[in-house]
Amino acid sequence: MGMEVAAEEEPKKKCRALIFTYGTLKRGFSNHNLIQDLVLTGDAVFRGAYTTSESFPLVCGPYRVPFLLNIPGSGHPVTGELYAVSAYGLSRMDELEGTSRGHYQRLGPVRVTRAAVAAEADDDSDDEAEAEAYFADRSYEMELWKKSGKLGFRWYGEKEAKGYVKRKDRPQNLSFLEHIRIFLSSSSTDQ
């Protein structure tokens, strides 16, 4: 019996970092398979639906990719999902989000509160928490905010994701940063 208790506690011991997800890592979206894999190995635990306590812009860039912008006080409180993740889980998420390539930055603390619809959490999660989130890189975040008409979303849902193009289906001859620069320089305001 002692081993069973230790095995049950192990994921909680190694999943210390809290990550607020707001886009394609959420359940029902294209990159959630990474989170599912991490949950299966004990490297991530779903904590529930949460909303940022402070307003942040949530906008779409090229291919309807969602970006949270580190411009506190602008936009709206954003609703997403909170996960506790291990160091290994963080490294996998950082890789997906391109933190070493200037795509996103993992920043915190971001104060979040349990969303009213969040009765489905896997554990006894707190009603409030401080987490990290993946924000658009500083090198282009203000241009994305201007391109969006300084309007953001409250969440990234089916409507906001309409037209999303998976990485494998995008032109492979350009880097993601090149796609962002082309998007920002285009005259289209279609977000």
Q: pLDDT by residue (tens digit) across 85-115?
A: 999 999 999 999 999 999 999 999 999 999 8
Query: Rounded mean pLDDT of 34-57?
Result: 96
pLDDT band at 142, cuts 50/70/90? Answer: very high
Q: What is the pLDDT of residue 124?
A: 60
CATH number for the domain that contains residue 31 = 3.10.490.10
Q: Look over the chain and give the mean of its residue pLDDT values, rounded to a whole number.
A: 88
Backbone angles phi, psi at 94, to 5 degrees: -60, -40
Higher pLDDT, 188 or 26: 26
Neighbours of 15 (CB within 10 A): 24
Neighbours of 97 (CB within 10 A): 19
Q: What is the pLDDT of residue 10?
A: 46
Cα angle value 82/86/92 (rounded, 5°): 85
- For 160-188, write each residue's pLDDT tens digit: 999 999 989 999 999 999 999 999 999 76
Query: Could you tell me which residues come within 8 angstroms of residue 79 by beta carbon, excluding any fewer than 6 positions away?
Result: 22, 49, 50, 51, 52, 115, 154, 155
Residue 5 has pLDDT above 50, yes or no: no
Q: What is the pLDDT of residue 15?
A: 77
Domain that holds residue 24: 2-185
User: Model-level pTM?
Assistant: 0.86
**Is 97 a catalytic site residue?**
yes
Number of domains in the chain: 1
Query: Rounded mean pLDDT of 23-39?
Result: 94
> Is 106 a member of any domain?
yes
- For 47-92, write each residue's pLDDT tens digit: 999 999 999 999 999 999 999 999 999 999 999 999 999 999 999 9
Residue 60 pairs in a beta bridge with 66
Q: What is the pLDDT of residue 185?
A: 94
Half-sphere exposure of 26 (CA within 13 A, CB side): 21
Query: Judging by DSSP bridges, how do beta strands 58-60 and 104-114 pair with one another?
Result: unpaired
Q: What is the pLDDT of residue 162?
A: 94
CA 62 to chain centre: 16
Would you say 145 and 59 are in contact if contact means Cβ atoms under 8 Å apart? Answer: yes
Query: Judging by DSSP bridges, how do beta strands 128-136 and 17-21 pair with one another?
Result: parallel
Q: What is the pLDDT of residue 7?
A: 40
Residue 9 has pLDDT above 60, yes or no: no
- Span between the terminal Cα atoms of the chain, in Å: 55
Q: What is the pLDDT of residue 187?
A: 78
Catalytic residue, candidates 8, 81, 97, 178: 97
